[in-house]
Structures are given as structure tokens and as C-alpha cells.
Amino acid sequence: MKFSKKFFFNIHSWIGIRLSILFFIVCFSGTLATLSHEMDWLFNPEMRATPKKELASRNLIVSNFKKLYPNAKVQLWMRPNEPYLCDILYKIENENLSYVFANRYTGKIQGESALTVQRFFRDLHYYLFIPFQIGNFVVLFFGFMLLISLITAICFYKKWWHKLFELQTGKGALVFFRSIHRLVGLWSIPFCLLFSITGIWYFIERANVAGIGEQVNPRPPQLSDTEETELSVNLTYAIDYDKAVLIAQKEIPGLVAGNMYVPQKATDVLGVIGKSNVPLVRQRANRVLINPRTNTVVSSQKASEISTAMWINDSVDPLHFGYWGGLLTKCIWFIFGCGISSLVLSGIWITCKRKSIKRKKNNQPIMGQWRFINWGLFGVLMSCMYWALLTKYHVSFSAIIYISLGWSIFIFLSWYIFEYRLKKAVYKA
């Protein structure tokens, strides 16, 4: 069966228009997530650290943390790959989560926040704040949609490689935007492939297709009941973190210790992860699980010895967000992420312009009923987001104002460009 160019074009157009708002939010939130640590550094001076040769003792950091928060627990000790950022301690107190910033070079506690820029954009891109894994699979669905959009575009753009440097100007807005849409799309092909394939892998992992999810995410072992201590003991302050790092480095020679998973109950192990001489993989590829009471290794995993499936899984994150090569690759990923996001916007404009000309006589709405479906889904997203911000993160009123302002600008620009300006231009013609 032979398919026409129009068939592929209709599929390509359907994805871009019918799923437009969510498609753009997924693409652009992932783009912003690539530089979200840098945005934290820019907007929150308390997170900044001046790199030095020597790192402060982890025990010193915990001691300073205890002075400020004697009744709190640390859930996760995050040490970002960026040397100009503080450690981020996930603090649990009175069942509320917040983020404490500790200078890894001086040991000083520099501040605390209910939410970080990095956490906001990672959550938005990860699951759109929609709970019960519904949001996760909605986002992962767009990995397939991005791949289908790419394939259909290549199918109806014949000899597309001849148009890698072609930009048509002086022939009207519609021709110009069609030309720039094609040009940006062609140069973004490698990144469209990368983002879609890694997104599909995330789907395979989360859906546990062929047992992949369980294989690449083994559950950490639990300590036996006979080793339990009194439940009243706050394990955060009962651990020798410096010794744990030394044990992990002895177990995995050359390990640069990064994040630490702090036990919350007596049967939990202490997890130390970090980078080794194996390139590309994330910190979690190297892990040492330690009994915090006996300081013995319960189990370990070396990135140099993991299975192919686990290597792929631990390489997907650095490839998807571009942090495998530091700031340079993150900037490259950000630029092409913006390009892909712009494809959604320019595609909407081109289709709306074309359809609005046809509907001019009948004065029909540009996007028809799908406009209401898209904005309805956007309303669900907003409701879930505000619920999470208020109940999970307990953000301040000022943070709510800033976030609301950002979304208000997005809504206004969407209306102004795709409704007001476009309709005005069409009916003037």
C-alpha cells in the first residue's frame, strides 16, 4: 500500500495542532530543565559556591545542619555535578520537605528553600504535576509523538537534504514561517531522534516492558530485624559520613562520591553513589550500599561491570538532558531544545494561518473544538500544579505569584499571537 505525501502531512499536522499546548509544554519544560541548575545559581545566591581544591568534611556539614535543624532528617544528600553549586540536603521536618543548601567547600549552611528551579522544571517535565503516574505516561506518550512527527515530516519533505540552507524571504509571512519551520526541523533531526528514543526508553522502563524496569532498578536490600536499633534514634545524626565515603571509595577505586541516600528507618541501608572513570553514565551507575551501624558493605555495583540494559538506562538521563559533557553540552542541548519547541509554535501558526483563510467567510474559530480540549487539559495541569505547590512543597505566597506570573505571560502570548494577531491579519487581507 502506497501512502501519499498528503497522508503523512495530515498526520504530522494532526499531532502538532491537536496536541499543541501539552506538546509545547513538554518540549519547553525539558529544554529549561537542561539549564535549571544554572537558573538556580542565577536566581538564588544562597545556592552559589566558589570552587576550591579541598572539600569540607561531610560530618562537618551534618554537624552544622544539626545545629540549625536538631529535629530534622536528611532524606537525600544531593551533590550536583556543577562545582559552583552547593550541596542540596532534602530536609524532612514535621513531615514537610524542604531543600537546605550546604557549601561543600566550607561546610556552611547557606540557606533553605521550599522549592528550587531545578525541582520545579524537572517535576513539570517529568509528570506535569499530574499524580498517580498518569502524568508520567502523558509525558512519555510525547516521545512516540515526536518520533512520528519526525518520520512523517521526512516522508513528505522529498529530498530534504537539499534544503538544509534554504530560507525563503520576501514572499509573505506564511512562506517565511513554512521555510524557517522546515529549516529548523532539518537541523534538529539528530536531537529529535535522541529525545524521542530516550523518551521511549523511559516509557519502557516505567511500564516495565519485558521486565526491563525491574531489571534496571533493583530494590535496595533491607537489613534484618535483628540489626534494628531503637526507632527513636535519628539516623541522620548517627552516621559517620566521611567513613562511609572512604568505604565506598575502597570498594570502587577512583570513585568520586556524589549523592547519598540517607536511611530513614532502622532496616534501611546507606547508599553512596558517584562518578568513576566510566564515561557518560549518571552517578547511580556506581553505587555502594553500606550498613550504617557496622560500616560494612552490603552490596555494590560498578559502572564498568553492569549489564547492557543497565548501562543504557544509566546513560539515558545524561543524553536526554545533555549534562554528560558539562555546561557546554547543556547549552547545546538547550539551543536545540528551543529549536524543537519553536517547531511546535511555528507549526501551529502555519496551520492556523492556512485554515483561518479558508474559514474567513464563515467566521469560524481558528482551532475549532480542539482549542477547548487543549486549554481544558492545560486547566487540569494547572490545578494539579497548584495543589502540589501548596500541599507537597508548601511554597511561599511570593513563589506562587512568580510562578503564576510566568504562566499568565504564556497564556497572554498564546492568545495574542494565535488568536488576536492571526485573526486580525487574516480579516484585514
Show me where the domains of the chain are located: 5-44+116-207+324-428
Give the C-alpha separation, 285 to 271, whole Å.
12
Q: Which position has the grid cell 520576501?
A: 170
Among the listed residues 217, 210, 388, the one whose alpha carbon sits nearest the alpha carbon of residue 287: 217
Give the C-alpha separation, 350 to 13, whole Å.
10
Contact by Cβ (8 Å): 283, 319: no
State the Cα torsion 84-120-257-105 to the nearest 10°.
30
Q: What are phi and psi of 90, to 5 degrees?
A: -80, 105
DSSP H stretches of helix in 268-362: 308-321, 327-358
- From first to last of its 429 residues, the chain has per-residue pLDDT tens of 567 888 998 899 889 888 889 999 999 999 999 999 999 999 999 999 999 999 999 999 999 999 999 999 999 999 999 999 999 999 999 999 999 999 999 999 999 999 999 999 999 999 999 999 999 999 999 999 999 999 999 998 878 888 888 888 878 777 888 899 999 999 999 999 999 999 999 999 999 999 999 999 999 999 986 544 555 689 999 999 999 999 999 999 999 999 999 999 989 999 999 999 999 999 999 999 999 989 999 999 999 999 999 999 999 999 999 999 999 999 999 999 999 999 999 988 888 777 776 665 555 555 556 678 888 999 999 999 999 999 999 999 999 999 999 999 999 998 888 777 766 665 555
Residue 270: strand pairing partners: 290
Going by the DSSP 8-state scheme, the letter that residue 85 receives in this structure is B
Q: What is the per-residue DSSP string for 204-267?
A: HHHTTGGGHHHHHSPPPP---GGG---TTS-GGGS--HHHHHHHHHHHSTT-EEEEEE--SSTT
pLDDT value at residue 135: 95
Contact by Cβ (8 Å): 3, 156: no
Classify strands 256-261 and 109-113 as parallel, antiparallel or unpaired: unpaired
pLDDT value at residue 373: 82
Could you give the angle at the alpha carbon of 352 between the alpha carbons of 147 and 12, nearest 5°? 20
pLDDT value at residue 176: 87
